[in-house]
Amino acid sequence: MTDFLSFKPQNNDCDFKRIEYLQEKMNNRIPVICPERAEIITESFKKTEGEPVVIRRAKALDEILSKMSIYIEEGMLIIGNQASSNFAAPIFPEYSFNWVINELDEFSKRSGDYFNITEETKDRLRVLQDYWQGITHQDNVLHNLPEINRKAEEQGVLHRGGISMSGDGHIIPNHDLVLAEGFGGLARIAEENSKREGLTQEQKDFYEAVKITMNAALKYIKRFSELAAREAEKETDEKRKNELKDLSKMFAHLMEGKAESFHEAVEAVYLTHLLMMIESNGHSFSFGRFDQYIYPYYKADIDSGKISKEKALEIITHFFLMTNSLNKVRPWGHTQYSGGYPLYSNLIVGGMKPDGSEGTNDISYLCLEAMNLSRLPEPNLSVRFCEETPRSLLKDSARLIRKGFGMPSLFCDEVVIPAMMTLDLDIETARDYASMGCVETAIPGKWGHRATGMTYINFGKILELIMNNGMDPASGIQLFSITGKNDRNIDFKSYDELWKAWETALKFYSDLAVDCDLVCDRSLKHFDADAFASATINCSLERGKTLKNGGAEYDYVSQSNIGPSVVGDSLAAVKKLVFDDKVITMKQLRDAMDTNFEGIEGAKIRKLCRQAPKFGNDIDYVDNIVADVYESYLALLPNYHTDRYGCGPKGCGYTMSTSNITSYVPNGFDVGATPDGRFAGKPLNEGASPCLGADKEGPTAVINSVSKLPNKKIAGGQLLNMRFAPGALAGEENLEKFVSFIEAARYKNIFHNQFNIVDGATLKAAKENPEEHADLMVRVAGYCALFSTLMPEAQDAIIERTELDWN
């Protein structure tokens, strides 16, 4: 069994052998395609044609929850399933469907994120295709997308990703509200509001939809009560028989009103998450500050003797395990941007409370121990820390990180809270932030959909374009010209000229990206009219609006900005080699890049490019240029607004995020050789991290470089990924050193940090012999995944990360 962190069990209330069995079983789960949801929603939509879409979606959810297969996972204390089997991915044809049909025969052949699919399932899905022709969210987006945006996508600058073909997700419910009211209570609130005078038809429809979805959720829960009772009758093991009887009793009344125990509260949190994933195939439905809203239920049961700390640990661990039974299938083109079956279900513990006091409690430590026991990608566990955070929490976090499966990631309150306050939040609200998805930051229960992850902008490609007068060498498409001529010829006379071209091109493509966001958002107002999820966010029930129509209290979004370090390193190389030292000309550099640095002359120039200063080594010359790249984008944001602007929510503006999942790998495919010496097609940098292999001066130099970035302005989430050699954390002395390294982030302006503790030899062996390393979990980007599930290019990018040590 896994050794413990600081937790020392005092009794036998936690069945560690069962957890070990369930963990192994979950670790070996088989991804399959499930057709049930697609069939049920198709039949439901046929029956409700002509009705308001929010009602249609509510009735469809009712049908799905009433008719879908349900089962109780063997031995689990937390129950509820998304599809017909463990780790099966349902299909959501209302968002996009043609790609599903086109890829039916390819799912099982993928090089990463594969899915088993039976011939029967293929046939069941094919018969649905005709109904969805031309009426999906993706169809609507493509119909309204300007031609210039399509050209920008052909160039490889913009990528729409999930916002044009799936639901939105990306919310943290107000769990305090949900646990206090239950689904029954939320239905009652909707009923009371529906009786107000002067309501619009939109509001009336919304309230009716909330009642339908909440009652559908209660019916779904009752189905499990009946199933658990039937399972108990057949069960021969006395302990399990009693557990099933208790589950049946709990589910007979669960969520009709307030959660009445710790077990009920944890189950309710899981069910809320699960039901949002059944309603919509968005991702990044996150759990927020779990230790804050669950603690009162825990303390009440501890004080009354109803539960022990060991039993609480078992329930939390089962909750963690069950989050890994859920799944989502994406088109292969989008899968390359988010490899490893991620759901980005972030759960965060620790950190300041709204009143400024520190919030660490027993649940904070139990969550770390639950992850220690479950050792699986979901939930995406994070820890907040500040000056008052107990060193014991950081030390347990370090112990868990040392085990080498990438969790938890760490957020520094002293940096994140000021960043959130740039969005005109008061300090009490800003202190209540939580991580969502990868490293996005949002206020639980107050934020609308999609705090980040709108249109992806390939900064590396923009750099390539300005080096070619706006013309893409690969496609020949030229959407703007620096010289005014329709060719690739350009000869910058100074660094200032080059920088001005960067700013001009960045604004050009950022404007297009915002236009793309608006097209997708306006479509999702219709296709993501989800009453259940919306009702869990502040103000939605008061206003009678879905989140996409302006139901949330706040509304901020960001795009995904990919490759700022590549751009900064490249600009520094041009400035140094061409303009400052004048060792090569711009033409020589461009010629070498055109040939991907081939030949004797190309190799010489690449050597010079590689020797130029690189971000991550605490060199002001280049670090300040990388910071300039960030500032150039931040300067554009006050001019941009979301589709909800003026419709109710506060803000409705843009912030910045470097949360770009695995997109830095496929985005690199589209970018030719760059002035930093990077070869064509190689990955860009990940998040705010240095370029692959560029950091040569150790971990403190990396921190010093990142500290110079405008981290306190980046409210959408700033991602830093570091890989340490296992020996760097071995032993108590090195562990203490690592904890001090973490704490230093408070003084060094570090928004976020996350770690892989694995050597290159192990990663290479896992790539060559995946079956022998099936349980190797790695930090991919802002999330973790089993290494064997990643496509080879993503595996290579992780292998190429610098392996840091203290020496």
Q: For residue range 751-777, list pLDDT tens digits in order.
A: 999 999 999 999 999 999 988 888 888
pLDDT bracket for residue 206 (50, 70, 90): very high
320-357 residue pLDDT tens: 999 999 999 999 988 887 889 999 999 999 999 999 99
Average pLDDT over residues 187-199: 98
Q: Is 157 helix (H, G, I), strand (E, B) or coil?
A: coil
Q: Can you give the pLDDT at residue 337?
A: 77
- For the segment 607-635, what is each residue's pLDDT rounded down to a tens digit? 999 999 999 999 999 999 999 999 999 99
pLDDT for residue 1 is more than 70: no
> What was the pLDDT predicted at 2?
61
Contacts of 319 (CB under 8 A, 6+ apart): 78, 266, 267, 269, 270, 370
Residue 754 in contact with residue 782, Cβ under 8 Å? yes
DSSP letter for 294, please.
H
For position 634, what pLDDT does the model report? 98
Q: DSSP string spanning 715-770?
A: TT----EEEE-GGGG-HHHHHHHHHHHHHGGGTTT--EEEEEE--HHHHHHHHH-G
Three-state SS at 191: helix
pLDDT at 4: 85
Q: Which of 675, 488, 506, 487 is nearest to 579 (CA)?
A: 675
Residue by residue, what is the 3-state secondary structure of 8-31? CCCCCCCCHHHHHHHHHHHHCCCC
Does residue 422 carry a pLDDT above 60? yes
- pLDDT above 90 (res 587): yes
Q: What is the mean pLDDT of residues 395-415?
A: 96
Flag the least confident range among 249-263, 541-555, 653-667. 653-667
What pLDDT shows up at residue 781?
78
Among residues of the chain, what percentage have pLDDT more than 70?
100
User: What mean pLDDT comes out for the span 57-70?
Assistant: 98
pLDDT level of residue 782 (50, 70, 90 thresholds)? confident
pLDDT higher than threshold 90 for residue 661 = no
DSSP conformation letters of 64-82? HHHHS-----TT-SS---S
Minimum mean pLDDT range among 578-582, 620-624, 703-707, 772-776: 772-776
My answer on whether omega of the bond before 408 falls inside 30° of 0, hence cis, is yes
Give the confidence band of 807 by pLDDT, cuts at 50, 70, 90.
low
Average pLDDT over all residues of the chain: 95
Task: Please check the confidence at residue 731 and state whether its pLDDT lies above 60.
Answer: yes
Give CA–CA dist 615/49, Å, rounded: 56
Cβ(601)–Cβ(592) below 8 Å: yes
Cβ neighbours of residue 669 under 8 Å, at least 6 residues apart? 156, 681
Residue 424 pLDDT level (bands cut at 50, 70, 90): very high
